[in-house]
Structure 1
Amino acid sequence: MINTIQVWQELGFSFDAVSTGFIVSEKQAKIAAEFCRKQKENGSMVFADPIMGDEGKLYNGITEKTISYMREIVKVSDYIVPNYTEAVYLAGAEYQEGGMDEKGVDELIESLLSIGAKSVVVTSALVNQKEAVIVYDASKKQRHILPFVSIPVRFPGTGDIFSSVFMGSILAGQGIVESAQKSMDVVKAMIEKNKDNRDKFKGIPVESFLGVLDSEET
């Protein structure tokens, strides 16, 4: 990573936006945090998808130090897109197996803001016993809860699709709520079109369904 960044600097590369994802070590997290900080100073928009865990547990290899460095990335990010598990670990809060009420949502958002988060999108949440995506718009200081009904199949990589569509929509000038809703609609449409695939472990062949991005379903 250090060598790659050095080459970018030597070539004078600049970026409209930077997006972080899965980071495999504390060293990488530290390098990414510093890179995002410098890019932010140069005017780049920073998006962070702090991939660390799911269903209340951290992935193998993720440590408390990694979480602390992820918080450094959060501080310099314009938008963070954690799932509920990741949001809880970033906030130092307790994972609620049965979900949250709206007071719990507000407390989680406040905890994320206290570590330096700005605009926030929390996926895979359970609010008042309903599946939802939580959105906090820093520019308006407004919180939104976007409910959804999940399709009972699981594909790897749907979080990456969500984050990518979200970033693209924001960069295209859409608001955070509209961007989150579009991301939800795209992911749902792609899952619906692939739910009968026998091999779910290969994920969704995104390149075959790019038309979903502009379809009436989204």
Structure 2
Amino acid sequence: MTNKQIPPKLLIINDMAGVGRCSMAVALPVVSCCKVQACPIPTAIFSNHTGFETHYSVDLSSHLPQFLSHLNLLPVSFDGICCGFLNSTEQIEQLKAYFSTLKKEIPIFFDPVMGDHGKAYKTVTPAFIESLKAMLPFTALITPNLTEACLLTDTNYAPDPTDEALVKICRKLQAMGASKIVITGIERKDSVINAIFESSLSLIEQKKITPSRPGTGDIFISIVSALLLREFSLEQSVDTASDFICQCLEISKDIPSVEGAAIENCLYLLTNL
């Protein structure tokens, strides 16, 4: 195999939920279909995601340092790291310690999962938010939704921010150590906007398809991370991920929203990229 034929390796650090099409359950297939090797390390295991009335879960904080330290013993290297749901402040500290051991050229793509629709999740405390802020200097890209971007920057949440307000939030995030930023899922009338910020703001617009469904953030950062490793531009990667999610939502209308977006019939869209 030539180097171009060897798939890049993406270390995926996220939880695993058995039912509900989110987290690792969607990350692994979409990354593989993007012709990138998915290498999963779980932060927690859930019977199903927490949008259902009940769930059972096992926190893996006591195992995460061993998982990560053993990776350093292997004769392999990763081309990038995609980090999603973290179950505790302890895991944040564990990952910061691990990231400190890595070569600086390994990009870290981070979805700071904390809340949605203007509210933090019940398990997210002020201490967790403060701890999560210290992750930003390690990252090459962060993909918060609007709620999470506001939580990170201590900004009052407004569901339909102006472009000027988005720029202000993004500059705050960069001042905190973030490099590139995509604020996801901003709703404007009949559209959903993903706002990209490097040195200036650009917007990727898709039509809004209701209802909202769990797992779309996991799908988004998984595709974007994989395509960036394949040297797609950030705008191309965001546009591709946005379009894929839109297609999945279109064919999911007969599926209960709690079960997520039906990626299964759309994965072929990624295999020809």
Is 1:188 aligned with 2:246?
A: yes
Secondary structure of 2:251's counterpart equals helix
- The Cα shift of 1:126 comes to 4.1
Q: 2:259: which partner in 1?
A: 202
Secondary structure of the 2:204 match is strand
The range that moved more, 75-84 or 64-73, is 64-73
Q: Which has the higher helix share?
A: 1
Counterpart amino acid of residue 100 in structure 1: P
- Is the aligned partner of 1:19 residue 2:82? yes
Greater relative CO, 1 or 2 (CA 8 Å, sep 6+): 2
Amino acid at match of 2:233: G
Q: Residue 39 of structure 1: SS of its match in structure 2?
A: coil
In the alignment, what sits opposite 1:8? 71
Number of residue pairs the alignment of both structures matches: 210
TM-score normalized with structure 2 length: 0.71
Q: How far does residue 12 in structure 1 lie from its aligned partner after superposition?
A: 4.5
From 211, 229, 235, give the equivalent of 1:177: 235
The answer to whether residue 197 in structure 2 is matched with residue 133 in structure 1 is no
Structure 2: gaps spanning 5 or more residues: 1-63
Shift of 1:166: 0.8
Partner in structure 2 of residue 144 of structure 1:
202
User: Which residues of 2 match residues 1-218 of structure 1 at below 5 A?
Assistant: 1-41=64-104, 43-97=105-159, 99-126=160-187, 131-137=192-198, 141-197=199-255, 199-214=256-271
Report the 3-state secondary structure (helix = DSSP H, G, I; strand = E; otherwise coil) of the residue aligned with 1:124: strand
CA distance in 2, matches of 1:131, 1:189: 14
Deviation at 1:196, TM superposition (A): 2.0
Q: Distance in 2 between matches of 1:9 and 1:169?
A: 25
Pairwise CA distance, 1:10: 2.5
1:12 and 1:61, CA in 2 relative to 1: closer, same or farther beyond 3 A? farther
TM-score norm. by structure 1 comes to 0.88
Whether contact under 8 Å (2:129, 2:151) holds in the other structure is yes
Mind listing any 5+ residue stretches in structure 1 that lack a counterpart? Answer: none
Alignment CA distance shift 1:149-1:108 (3 Å):
same
What is the CA-CA distance between 1:13 and the residue it aligns to? 4.1
Task: Find the aligned partners of 1:27 and 1:111 in 2 and give their Cα distance.
Answer: 25
Amino-acid identity (%): 25
Deviation at 1:18, TM superposition (A): 0.9
